[in-house]
Structure 1
């Protein structure tokens, strides 16, 4: 019998490993693995919290949560504290552990906020790879109040597999981001060395043609070509900035100030809080900021733009406000431009949010908030 049990556990670990090795999108992988683990073990409910270095948690995967926990788009799971997260953050949760009472379920029962479907307890397993920790996996079933040692050992082995997969996927994402940055830098160099130089040569040639032309019509033609070439040069410089911002190595404020100067856009800046930001966050703020400043230049006819960066322990907030024309904006409707949608997508991709405040004649304010 013991041999049959060992073979069964090995089969489970093999199947889980195959699922983990196939996936590249983290939350999708976690949801698939959690669902399969519950099917194989006969358990009914599970969820995974990913927890960052600051102790903030994110609900990354769920399977068959009772109504009391899944109501309002899983709101009871996304706010407040609980035993497993607290123990994880203070360093006391280092191995698979029985949870004799779940605080979130207990609160739901006490507040009569929804059906728990008989679920009162769960096991908690930390997700680890070596010395790195990534979060916790919780599993349980109705009326199951205790997990045996061999059940916890199996869950712990699966959790180690999940932790290793999380590390692999995140390393792969970092490599992709570095490769993308390198490709942008290469493209920026190529544009500067080839197309930008050709446009400069065209502008000089058109200027010489203007001086040498012997008829007004011909002078006007060369002058028009020179104006077009210079306008194209300006667009090219802006594109090169977007691909490889000079000054970002000195911080987001220096980069945005330099971009505003290139656009000939007066900019006042104010910085509060710490200045060092994670690379992903700084990159997102740069892309959002450049789109906002470009909109100020193209559409608002603003005389001055105010940029404020306020970073605290858990969040950075950037505000870009102009005194320009403004526009009719309804937050209940779809964003009116691709640029604004792109800004919103960048903020959302890092767990942040974007707010737009604007009225005709009263200017526009862009507010972006991203957790750090």
Structure 2
């Protein structure tokens, strides 16, 4: 199964240090716009006189240059705006001495430089946040791809077992049965050995089919999930001796992909209850409403001894619980929880909301 890299978002690492327009005609256009804005503000500032201060509006071209062209152009625009402000004050200003005018110029220049640096810092922070978001999206996409690859390999192995090994063992079992009948008719003492071989082969066929059904459990029909969970319950009960009960009534869920995820969650929850939870009884509840499907697994084992999923995760190695969470996340619109059961034991619950286009029926 191939995974296309074009479907994955790429993390924008280091974009915070790069200008929006590194060069070309667009950068030149932005620079000309900033110069024009500076000239316009300076002209209006000169016309209205010193009674009305417009120096705050010089921040507009400085911020635009810093955001679009980078810190170098931003600082250059700060110096240009300082010069424009000084020119606008010549001839009409409230300063009695040249020293006062120069101190005011230094004050404006400091404000303009701070505006440029602040704009660049905000843009870097924004780009860093975007890079982190893209990296998280890429990580989740990788997890979904790994889940798809794993499921694809499960299906392939299960199909190969069913169509290959199971059929060959069934054929050999039939041949052994025919040989046993022929030896019995001849009253040959080897007939009993042939019957033993036939029974052993029949057991091997059943075990191989159970293994294939465990790897490829959900068929692509509307009742596939309920049927697969019923087989899971009966097979686990037979192998472990722990009663596993499925509660469902005419359940239908026309979504094979999500059905497979729900089955794997139930499979892992049941295995945890039997192996780690020391449960003497496990119940699987499968319900479908108008808006959501709910899978719930309850057991009467030792439960979450410390009242937290972290304890269960450390007790079982963590892989099973993390896998269940990943499967719930990969389905989208799904809620997964593991809680302590009243009276002892654990409740694992996964709710899946129905898609907008395709409904879930019951």
Say which structure is richer in helix: 2
Greater RCO, 1 or 2 (C-alpha within 8 Å, sep 6+): 2
TM-score interval for Structure 1 and Structure 2 normalised by the shorter chain: 0.3 to 0.5
TM-score, normalising length: structure 2: 0.44
